[in-house]
């Protein structure tokens, strides 16, 4: 249910929270909300909060400042000014049956883009664990070839659907792909995606954005010691074509993906960062 406060204030509130938050100034509520702090980066913070006994993740944006906006413009990047990217991306994916955090509330104020306050509140993806955590488990207990193949094929299908829907994640590391652990224990690889604050939506996703997403995904798996055939299987499933045809049609694209992944890996090693810390 859209909630309109003023010409400079746009908001959304899911019916489940209408009774509890319907009479609130949502931005003021988000500023005062308390919970377990998961992350604080510059003027953006993520908290896990409880509302009516249910867990949610609250992401607050407090304006990036003109310096950050200028830095992005100078290098040809579109600055992320608030929570609207994540709000739009999550709703876009939900409409296409692609699992992502379900939006429960959102609000943004207009006016000065450098000082714009906004937030998005999403229901927790209960029962899911990140593929980064799954890969860490593999170091202690390697998966069977069949299980590994099942998961890689599921990731390839999921990323293909993500891109076909017109969404570029822009931080597509395995720490942002989530696996339903209960379904996985039953032999089914069911995935979801989160942390969509930088997501970009296009009617038809360009090769440039697909390359960057695929390079980020490859980079985040380089230390997993996956066999070459696993990466080739991903390519075949992602493109939906026989391997020779998939690679032969645009070898420059796939070489560019590999070069960017290696460059990201070298940068991470120099800085001592993990993919999640780079996001």
Annotated catalytic residues are 171
Place of tokens 């593929």: 131
Instruction: Answer for the pair 218, 226: CB distance below 8 angstroms, yes or no.
Output: no
Among 96, 247, 231, CA closest to 161: 96
Cα–Cα dist 131/155, whole Å: 10
Per-residue buried b or exposed e for 96-114, using 16+ beta carbons within 10 Å of the residue's own CB: eebbbbbbbbbbbbeeeee
CB 171 within 8 A of CB 216: yes
Pairing of the two strands 177-180 and 128-130: antiparallel
Rounded CA-CA distance 90/102 in Å is 7
DSSP secondary structure letter of residue 24: S
DSSP annotation of 169 reads -
């Amino acid at each position: 249910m859209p909630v309109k406060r003023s010409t400079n204030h746009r908001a959304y509130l899911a019916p489940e929270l209408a009774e509890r938050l319907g009479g609130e100034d949502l931005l003021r509520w988000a500023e005062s909300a308390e919970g377990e702090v998961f992350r604080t980066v510059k003027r953006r913070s993520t908290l896990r909060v409880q509302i009516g006994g249910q867990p949610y993740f609250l992401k607050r944006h407090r304006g990036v400042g003109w310096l950050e906006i200028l830095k992005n413009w100078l290098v040809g990047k579109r600055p992320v000014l608030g929570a609207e990217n994540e709000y739009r991306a999550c709703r876009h994916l939900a409409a296409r049956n692609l699992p992502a955090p379900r939006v429960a509330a959102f609000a943004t104020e207009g006016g000065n883009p450098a000082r714009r306050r906004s937030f998005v509140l999403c229901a927790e993806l209960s029962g899911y664990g990140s593929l980064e955590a799954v890969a860490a488990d593999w170091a202690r207990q390697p998966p069977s070839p069949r299980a590994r193949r099942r998961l890689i094929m599921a990731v390839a299908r999921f990323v293909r659907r993500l891109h076909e829907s017109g969404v570029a994640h822009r931080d597509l590391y395995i720490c942002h792909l989530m696996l339903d652990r209960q379904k996985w224990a039953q032999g089914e690889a069911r995935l979801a995606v989160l942390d969509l604050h930088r997501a970009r939506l296009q009617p038809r996703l360009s090769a440039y954005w697909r390359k960057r997403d695929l390079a980020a995904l490859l980079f985040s798996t380089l230390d997993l010691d996956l066999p070459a055939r696993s990466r080739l299987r991903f390519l075949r499933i992602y493109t939906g074509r026989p391997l020779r045809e998939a690679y032969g049609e645009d070898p420059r694209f796939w070489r560019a993906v590999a070069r960017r992944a290696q460059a990201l890996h070298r940068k991470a090693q120099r800085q001592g960062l993990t993919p999640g810390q780079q996001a």
